[in-house]
Amino acid sequence: MRGDAEAFRGRYESVVDEQIRKAIESGQFDDLPGAGKPLKLPAPGDENWWLRSKLRSEGVPTHALLPRSLRLRKEIEDLDEAVRDLRDEADGRAVVAELDRRVVDFLRAPSGPRVPIRRPSADAVVTRWREARAAARPAPAPSSAPRPADRRRWWRRLPRG
């Protein structure tokens, strides 16, 4: 029976299969990098492994796949991090206002899993932003200004002549 299968394969071998067979017979696949090492296969039962690997290679965060309610909740949790590097308070308030607008739109017509979502407070975010900036600001260096006893009027420092 096995001989019949090999004979069948030999008669109807495609061009690609023939080239692969000849390369194997000539040893072109010997000593390739990774030979003898196990393949990196996804976890068993993870049917979306290809999607996760594509997102990882494209640099897309995995929370982009979450339902809208969970995505909004995650954005609210990460709000302090999102405004951390902004230069002024108005920019931070604008970021919070834009997120608040999307939360209100969702609350008007919710979809997906019912997850409690609280509207973000611009005042609370700005207060935390100020505290973080104050904590990150370096301590002022001691001034090298002359002591009051050493101070002289500017016209007394002028050379006389």
Could you tell me the maximum CA-CA distance found in the chain, to the nearest angstrom? 121
Higher-pLDDT residue of 146, 20 = 20
Question: Residue range 24-50: average pLDDT?
Answer: 84
Higher-pLDDT residue of 159, 23 = 23
Residue appearing with tokens 């692969």: 20
Q: What is the pLDDT of residue 43?
A: 76
Residues above pLDDT 70, as percent of the chain: 79
pLDDT per residue over 49-79, tens digit each?
888 888 889 998 878 878 999 999 999 999 9
DSSP readout, 32-83? Answer: -TTTTSPP-PPPTT-TTHHHHHHHHHHT--GGGGS-HHHHHHHHHHTHHHHH
Contact by Cβ (8 Å): 108, 88:
no
Q: What is the pLDDT of residue 149?
A: 56
Q: Which two tokens stand for residue 13?
A: 């071998």
Q: What is the pLDDT of residue 87?
A: 87
Question: Residue range 38-56: average pLDDT?
Answer: 82
pLDDT per residue over 78-118, tens digit each?
999 999 888 889 999 999 999 999 999 999 998 888 889 99
Cα separation, 75 vs 72, whole angstroms: 5
Cα–chain center distance at 155: 61
